[in-house]
Chains A and B, each alone.
Chain A
Amino acid sequence: MNAQPASKILVLDNSPTHAGLIKTFCDQNNLFALKVRKDAIKSVLRTNIDLGGILYSDSYGETPEETAQIAIDIHAARPELPIIIRREQHPTLAGLPESTERVFCAAYSCGDMSALRQAVDQYIFCLVYPNALLRGIAEISTEVLRNVFKGVEASYDTPYVVHDRMIFGEVFSLIQLESSWCRGYMMLQTEEEPFLRLAGPGNGPTSTSNNFRRVNDSLSEITNMIWGGFKNRYIGDRSANMVSGVQVPLIVNHKHHYISFGTSNPQLCFRFNLEDERSGREAPLYARFIFNLNWSPEDFQEITPDHGGLVESGALELF
């Protein structure tokens, strides 16, 4: 597993001269670059793919006015997305029209890609996620999924970060994570139809209902078990001394099918793919970790079995 999280970005830069350099930079820095036609930008932003940011160019439009207007429109549509502009002359934001200065978070020029690297670290990968945490979440989750869905293979992609403030989807489960080093939520997200087909009789957890309630039951139990694994491995008894009661409102919008945690901090995301080789059925499952209330990775600690007195799951520990 690549333990460094990745991020998906839009590259709105038509320069053939710099295309190769930008692509190499993206490949070397865990950025999945998507090129989008100018006339498709709005629809791409509307489709709400998980984005971490945008690489823009000061010559993207046919005219300076068009370049400015496109950036302003993107910022209006997705204000949480950091937009980094490539400038031909000055690798700074100085000298940009006043109307666009607030739209961009940083600037770079292809003569000094270290400035872009700095901006990516500062604005896209701005929260540090320890490698042990990324590996552990993947291990805990796949073990849970394989236990819950007998005979179903659970695989996962490279974890990634997104900046989308609104999280669109069909079915969500939420559970709080609270410790001395992190506070926020773990969210699982899936699509009802494929999940329901996969969680059919004999595959998923036993459930008396055969409709969307089965998805609720299964997702709820999977959430509970991953949450338990997370707590046992990364929190232990350290939550007992947690005294902060700070909360922020969450927004659930049924009309537009999204939930928002009110933060533009990057969320740590995992995409799991469940595949039943016998039937060929597949279902995606997304896990998101949104530490919107506290994130102190310097206090992160993995609890080893010796420290936590852990026993193998499923085994009976008699007192």
Chain B
Amino acid sequence: MAKILVVDDSSTVRDEVSTFLKGSGLDVVTAVDGKDGLAKLRADPGIKLVVADVNMPNMDGLTMVEKIRSELKNSAVNLIMLTTESSANMKERGKAAGVKGWIVKPFKGPAVLETFKKLVS
């Protein structure tokens, strides 16, 4: 089954997002920062969508998505940023790394559920 990887250093956000997505019938794995996210993605080819925060310790979300494309050579996985950031520079960097969409927190599950389902199908 296609999975969504939720990467956020905040346990409250990880819990909130994954609880909503699981409750909507989606399969979810979580990671606590960019490094952990890369490791989870490397280990699980079933992951079809990554929803990641930007500001995280150890490795930030934009560095993680750049490494997904450059180091993991994974161009198939869909990338969405879920963050408090909305600066044009950040978004440009995300776009250049292949990020497909940007959500400014707070997470409002029902508003994005259908898109998430399409991205993992």
A interface residues (Cβ-Cβ under 8 A, vs B): 144, 147-148, 204-208, 217-218, 220-221, 224-225, 227-229, 231-232, 236-237, 240, 308-319
Nearest B-chain residue to A227, judged by Cβ: B84
- CA–CA, A313 and B86, complex, Å: 10
Q: Is B101 an interface residue (CB 8 A)?
A: yes
Interface with A: B36-44, B59-67, B105-113, which one? B105-113
Set of chain B residues within 8 Å of A319, measured between Cβ atoms: 91, 94-95, 99-102
Min Cβ gap B49→A in Å is: 12
Task: Spell out B's residues near A (CB within 8 Å).
Answer: 10-13, 15-16, 19, 55, 80, 83-89, 91, 94-95, 99-108, 111-112, 115
Evaluate contact between B85 and A206: CB separation under 8 angstroms: no
Determine the distance from Cα of A215 to Cα of B42 in the docked complex, in whole angstroms.
33
Asked whether B115 lies within 8 Å of A318 as measured between CB atoms, the reply is: yes
Choose among A144, A237, A317 the residue that contacts B102 (Cβ–Cβ < 8 A).
A317
Chain B neighbourhood of A317, CB < 8 A: 91, 101-103
B109 to chain A, nearest CB (A): 9
Contact A314 B83 (CB under 8 A): no
- Cross-chain contact A206 with B87 (CB below 8 angstroms): no
| B84 contacts A316, C-beta separation under 8 Å | no
List 27 A-B pairs, Cβ < 8 Å.
Answer: A147-B106, A148-B106, A206-B15, A206-B16, A208-B11, A217-B12, A220-B12, A221-B12, A224-B10, A224-B84, A224-B105, A225-B84, A228-B86, A228-B104, A232-B85, A236-B88, A237-B88, A237-B89, A309-B86, A311-B104, A313-B105, A313-B108, A314-B103, A314-B106, A314-B112, A317-B103, A319-B99
Closest to A217 in B: B12
